[in-house]
Structure 1
Amino acid sequence: MPPVLPPGSHLSREHDRAARIRFRRAITLMAMTIVLPGSAQLVAGNRKVGRIALRIVLCLIALAVLFGLIGLVWHPFLLKLGSSPSFLLLLRLGLIAGAVGWFALLVDAWRLGQPLTLVKNHRLAMTGMNAVLTFCVAGSLLFGAHIVGVSRDALLQLSGHGGNGNANDGRYNVLLLGGDSGASRWGMRPDSLQIASVDAETGRTVLIGLPRNMENFHFAPGSVMDKQFPDGFNCDACYLNGVSTWAGDHTDLFKGSDNPGIDATVMAIEGITGLKINYWAMVNLQGFRDVVNAVGGVKLHVREPIPVGLPGDSFYTHLKTGYYRLNGFEALWYARARHDSDDYSRMARQKCMINALSQQVSPETVVRKFGAIAKATSGMIETNIPTGDFSTLVPLAMKARSQKISTLSLVPPLVRDTAHPDMGFIHDKVKQAIDKAEGKAGKPAGKAVVPSASSAPNGETQRGGSIGTRETGYAANDSTDLSSAC
Structure 2
Amino acid sequence: MPDDRSSARSVAPPRTAADASARVQFRRALVLLVMTVVVPGSAQIAAGDRRVGRVALRVWLSLVAVAALGLLVALLSRSLFLSLVLDQRILFLGRWILTAVAIAWVVLLLDAWRLGMPLRLPQRRRLAVTAVNGVLCFVVAGSLLFAANVLAAQNHLIGTVFASEEVSDATDGRYNILLLGGDSGSDRDGMRPDSINVASVDAETGRTVIVSLPRNLQRVPFPDGTVMHDQFPDGFISEDEDEGYYLNGISTWANDHAELFGDTADPGLLATTQAVQEITGLTISYHASINMEGFSRLIDAVGGVTVDVKQRTPKSGINERTRGWIEVGEQELSGEEALWYARSRKADNDFARMGRQKCVMNAMLSQLSPQKVLLNVQDIAESSASLLSTDIPASELDQFAGLALEARKNPISTVSIVPPAIDTTDPDFDVVRQLVNDAITIAEGQDAPPSAFETVTAVLPQPERSAEEAAADPTLANDTANLAETC
What range is the shorter-chain TM-score in?
0.7 to 0.9
CA distances 1:99-125 after superposition (whole Å, capped 9, x unpaired): 011011112222223344444444333
CA distances 1:454-476 after superposition (whole Å, capped 9, x unpaired): 7999979x9xxxxxx97235384
1:458/1:355 Cα in 2 relative to 1: closer, same or farther (>3 Å)?
A: farther
What TM-score, normalized by structure 1, do the two folds share?
Answer: 0.86
Partner of 1:292: 299
Partner of 1:189: 192
Partner of 1:430: 436
Aligned-partner Cα distance in 2 for 1:137–1:184 = 50
Corresponding position: 1:439 with 2:454: no
Deviation at 1:249, TM superposition (A): 1.5
1:307·1:337 contact (CA, 8 Å) conserved in 2?
Answer: yes
Partner of 1:482: 483
Aligned-partner Cα distance in 1 for 2:449–2:319 = 49
Deviation at 1:146, TM superposition (A): 1.8
1:217·1:420 contact (CA, 8 Å) conserved in 2?
Answer: no
1:182·1:284 contact (CA, 8 Å) conserved in 2?
Answer: no
* Residues 76-475 of structure 1: pairs in structure 2 closer than 5 A: 76-161=79-164, 164-182=167-185, 187-236=190-239, 237-310=244-317, 313-415=320-422, 417-443=423-449, 449-452=456-459, 471-472=473-474, 474=476
Aligned length, in residue pairs: 469
Aligned-partner Cα distance in 2 for 1:184–1:48 = 67
CA distances 1:11-36 after superposition (whole Å, capped 9, x unpaired): x8333333333333332222211110
Partner of 1:16: 19
Mean CA deviation greater in 123-132 or 344-353? 123-132
Mean CA deviation greater in 361-370 or 242-251? 361-370
CA distances 1:99-155 after superposition (whole Å, capped 9, x unpaired): 011011112222223344444444333333222222221122112212222222223
Q: Secondary structure at the match of 1:474?
A: helix
Q: Secondary structure at the match of 1:379?
A: helix
1:183/1:160 Cα in 2 relative to 1: closer, same or farther (>3 Å)?
A: farther
1:105/1:455 Cα in 2 relative to 1: closer, same or farther (>3 Å)?
A: farther
2:222·2:275 contact (CA, 8 Å) conserved in 1?
Answer: yes
1:51/1:483 Cα in 2 relative to 1: closer, same or farther (>3 Å)?
A: same
Deviation at 1:259, TM superposition (A): 1.8
Mean CA deviation greater in 394-403 or 161-170? 161-170
Deviation at 1:401, TM superposition (A): 1.5
2:177·2:287 contact (CA, 8 Å) conserved in 1?
Answer: yes
Cα RMSD, aligned residues only? 3.1
1:183·1:286 contact (CA, 8 Å) conserved in 2?
Answer: no
Aligned-partner Cα distance in 2 for 1:148–1:407 = 35
1:137/1:192 Cα in 2 relative to 1: closer, same or farther (>3 Å)?
A: same
Q: Secondary structure at the match of 2:474?
A: coil
Deviation at 1:243, TM superposition (A): 1.1
Aligned-partner Cα distance in 2 for 1:201–1:123 = 62
Q: Secondary structure at the match of 1:34?
A: helix
1:154·1:374 contact (CA, 8 Å) conserved in 2?
Answer: yes
Aligned-partner Cα distance in 2 for 1:212–1:163 = 28
1:183·1:284 contact (CA, 8 Å) conserved in 2?
Answer: no
Aligned-partner Cα distance in 2 for 1:314–1:162 = 46
* Residues 19-30 of structure 1: pairs in structure 2 closer than 5 A: 19-30=22-33
Aligned-partner Cα distance in 2 for 1:391–1:311 = 41
- Which of structure 1's runs of 4+ aligned residues deviate more than 6 A? 183-186, 453-460
CA distances 1:15-68 after superposition (whole Å, capped 9, x unpaired): 333333333333222221111001122222222222221111111111211211
CA distances 1:187-229 after superposition (whole Å, capped 9, x unpaired): 1321110011111111110000012122222223443433443
1:195/1:86 Cα in 2 relative to 1: closer, same or farther (>3 Å)?
A: same
What TM-score, normalized by structure 2, do the two folds share?
Answer: 0.86
Partner of 1:3: none
Deviation at 1:163, TM superposition (A): 5.3
Aligned-partner Cα distance in 2 for 1:126–1:337 = 60
Aligned-partner Cα distance in 1 for 2:33–2:306 = 49
Identity %: 43
CA distances 1:139-175 after superposition (whole Å, capped 9, x unpaired): 2211221222222222323224255442111111111
Aligned-partner Cα distance in 2 for 1:312–1:413 = 26
1:193·1:211 contact (CA, 8 Å) conserved in 2?
Answer: yes
Aligned-partner Cα distance in 1 for 2:174–2:118 = 66
1:183·1:379 contact (CA, 8 Å) conserved in 2?
Answer: no
Q: Secondary structure at the match of 2:57?
A: helix
Aligned-partner Cα distance in 2 for 1:435–1:191 = 28
1:285·1:332 contact (CA, 8 Å) conserved in 2?
Answer: yes
1:457·1:484 contact (CA, 8 Å) conserved in 2?
Answer: no
Q: Secondary structure at the match of 1:449?
A: helix
Amino acid at match of 2:307: L
1:456·1:473 contact (CA, 8 Å) conserved in 2?
Answer: no
1:42/1:272 Cα in 2 relative to 1: closer, same or farther (>3 Å)?
A: same
Deviation at 1:284, TM superposition (A): 1.4
Q: Secondary structure at the match of 1:450?
A: helix
Q: Secondary structure at the match of 1:269?
A: helix
